[in-house]
Amino acid sequence: MGSVLPENIGLVLSPMEINDFDFEKDKADKDNVSESIRDYYSSAGVSDLLFNSEKSSSNSLKLSIDNDSSIMFAVLRSLERWVNRKIKQESGVIKFKCLFLDITKYNQKEFYENCLKGSQASLPMKTMACVSMGIPQSDMVGLNFLETEVLEIQNKFIPLKSSHTQSDGGRPNNSDKGLPVEEVTEQQQDNGSNENRE
């Protein structure tokens, strides 16, 4: 019997009764270390999605980060009020105000895109867009003066002509090419001209 058994199995003959002991980990047994870490952060109010959770998803992770950031932004508002109070006491006739933006490493790109959309809609958010990119306001003013007044980059760096940068009044039709105009096209042109008159 010993000659046919594999190498990792031993054979023992004994006149007494032998009990077997299984050292395999029970599948029903829980991972106490992982459970302790999860309970620790959950009791502290921090989501376990930030620490390589098995059920992690991008959307739930973003919401978890936003939730944690909102707690810190409340502290930031208190610091902002304190700084503005000190500035108000120290400044003379001209009053200044300090503004701490709600920017983190995780929402910097989203904050910049929102500021850019607001600037395109004529909202006064250009300075916020520059600050969200890491450009201080003093450098922003200096760079703007250098590019527009000194170097005149807006007159020298002209974008290439394309359908996005210019309009020629629409596509050419058959009458522009000297070809006969179909009846349907004439009706559409007449309808368009009548609508413009109204």
Assigned token pair, 17: 């009764």
Q: Give Cβ neighbours of residue 171 (< 8 Å, ≥ 6 apart).
A: none
Question: What integer best gives the mean pLDDT of the chain?
Answer: 77
Taking 80 as the threshold, does the pLDDT of residue 180 lie above it? no
**Distance, C-alpha 160 to centroid of its chain:** 30
Mean pLDDT of 127-143: 88
| pLDDT on residue 83 | 92
Write out pLDDT tens, residues 62-80: 777 787 788 889 899 999 9
Write out pLDDT tens, residues 85-129: 888 888 677 778 888 998 988 888 999 999 999 988 989 888 899
Q: Give Cβ neighbours of residue 165 (< 8 Å, ≥ 6 apart).
A: 159
Taking 60 as the threshold, does the pLDDT of residue 193 lie above it? no
| pLDDT on residue 182 | 60
16: left (phi over 0), alpha (psi -120 to 50) or beta: beta
> 100 with 80: CB under 8 angstroms?
yes
Distances (CA, A) of 155 to 76, 126, 141, 146: 42, 21, 19, 13
Assigned token pair, 80: 């902002």
Task: Report the chain's terminal Cα–Cα distance, integer Å.
Answer: 105
Taking 90 as the threshold, does the pLDDT of residue 44 lie above it? no
Taking 50 as the threshold, does the pLDDT of residue 4 lie above it? yes
- For residue 171, give the 3-state DSSP assignment: coil
Taking 80 as the threshold, does the pLDDT of residue 17 lie above it? yes
> Measured between alpha carbons, how far is 31 from 175 in angstroms, rounded to an integer?
80
Taking 90 as the threshold, does the pLDDT of residue 24 lie above it? no
Report field, pTM of the whole predicted structure over 0.75: no
| pLDDT on residue 96 | 80
